[in-house]
Amino acid sequence: MDKLIIKGGRRLTGEVAVSGSKNAALPILFTTILASGRHEIRNVPGLRDINTSIHLLETLGARVEGRSGTIWVDTSGLDQVEATYDLVKTMRASVLVLGPLLARFGRSRVSLPGGCAIGARPIDQHLKGLAAMGADIRLSHGYVEAEAKTLRGARIHFDLSTVGGTEHLLMTAALAKGETVLENAAREPEIAELAEVLNGMGAKIEGAGTDTIRVLGVEQLAPMSHRVMPDRIEAGTFMIAAAITGGDVRIRDMRLEHLDALAFKLQDAGVEVFSRDNAVQVRGPERIRPVNIKTRPYPGFPTDMQAQFMALMCLADGASVISENIFENRFMHVAELLRFGADILIEGNTATVKGVRRLSGAPVMATDLRASASLVLAGLAADNTTEISRIYHLDRGYERIEEKLKGLGADIERVKE
């Protein structure tokens, strides 16, 4: 098992490029199930979750060439309809194969994904939507079994904004007969990108990126060729890395319009953020100003940036209040940030962060993907040395992050524990 060793206190400067989006690439990989043939997907990040998805597709009978960058997925020989617990337990997004397998083969069997370190993420909205489209859904021995001779369009209203549920039913509805209307749909950029991919395959989708999406089902789809969008959460993490170290960093291959909520809050905190020459420049101030945030579904402040922003507020000149409104267990990084000397008080879903003059390096342990990033950021700004263990969480969502940070002047090494 690997760990990171960070000698903090260095001001980050220079240029860094953002990798392809993990959260966009995962559902795009699973859309290949819908169309027999050879698909080309470019700008795929080299991550643990991508490897898991590829392994799942191969288990279903697909042939995959490549593991990152440009990969080719040939689903013409795909002949299995079951995703086992051994695969699904390592990545919740694996449940997204349920609907595409059902749409293509008329049946599918996928393990229930179980819990999650950052809180319960049930799939009831996914199953409610599939049932509304005519699927016979059964839960048996920890598996979801679905059958449907014909899937038909339906009006589906999500009880809450769900990214996975919206993606799942968007893919499935592409091959259903008639029109499907998804109401209270999630609006994330990754969903608009998924709709773009599906439309390129021959689907008829309107409204992706709004809370009402209309899908007119087609009889069949064709293989795709697509370049994955930049990862907005990785980009946001580099923005905060520049801010927390008082640095000056140019970030390439990012779309600032996907991070408006974060950019506005960083500017409120005294951070300079501006576009220049097809890139985004971020300059940190001498002292961060305290800023309050509340996580919301897109286009609100992203829950996936809450832990990283909290690390920044640990060094603010005053107190800030951070409210987490998406996941109930997403303050697990607080206990580790306290080991740096941070001053944080939690009450329910709210954390009050009183900024301190400096953080002190410490041995800490990652608990989930974004918590891992917050510890890296704290370590970059802290005095002395920080050791971060269990960084396999980090490898799920950040491609070669230590190499990229090293290119900006960070003193960071990956070593074997």
Q: Binding site annotation covers 124? A: yes
Q: Binding site annotation covers 406? A: no
Q: Binding site annotation covers 23? A: yes
Q: Binding site annotation covers 322? A: no
Beta strands 69-74 and 38-44: pairing type?
antiparallel
Q: Binding site annotation covers 296? A: no
Q: Binding site annotation covers 122? A: yes
Strand partners, 248: 13, 283
Instruction: Report the 10 Å Cβ neighbour count for 113.
Output: 21
The CA-atom distances, in angstroms, between 166 and each of 11, 96, 161, 224, 242 are: 41, 10, 8, 20, 34
**In contact, 302 and 322? CB cutoff 8 Å:** no
SS (H, E, C) the chain: CEEEEEECCCCCEEEEECCECHHHHHHHHHHHHHCCCEEEEEEECCCHHHHHHHHHHHHCCCEEECCCEEEEEECCCCCCCEECHHHHCCCHHHHHHHHHHHHHHCEEEEECCCCCCCCCCCCHHHHHHHHHCCCEEEEECCEEEEECCCCECCEEECCCCCHHHHHHHHHHHCCCECEEEEECCCCCHHHHHHHHHHHHCCCEEECECECEEEEECCCCCCCCEEECCECHHHHHHHHHHHHHCCCEEEEECCCHHHHHHHHHHHHHCCCEEEEECCEEEEECCCCECCCCEEECCCCCECHHHHHHHHHHHCCECCEEEEECCCCCCCCCHHHHHHCCCCEEEEECCEEEEECCCCCECCEEECCCHHHHHHHHHHHHHCECEEEEECCCCHHHCCCCHHHHHHHCCCEEEEEEC
Q: Binding site annotation covers 123? A: yes
Q: Binding site annotation covers 92? A: yes
Q: Binding site annotation covers 395? A: no
314 labelled catalytic: no
Catalytic residue among 114, 116, 264, 363: 116
**In contact, 186 and 125? CB cutoff 8 Å:** no
Q: Binding site annotation covers 276? A: no
- Residues annotated as binding site for UDP-N-acetyl-alpha-D-glucosamine? 92, 121-125, 304, 326
Task: Cite the active site residues.
Answer: 116
- Residues annotated as binding site for phosphoenolpyruvate? 22-23
- Residues annotated as binding site? 22-23, 92, 121-125, 304, 326
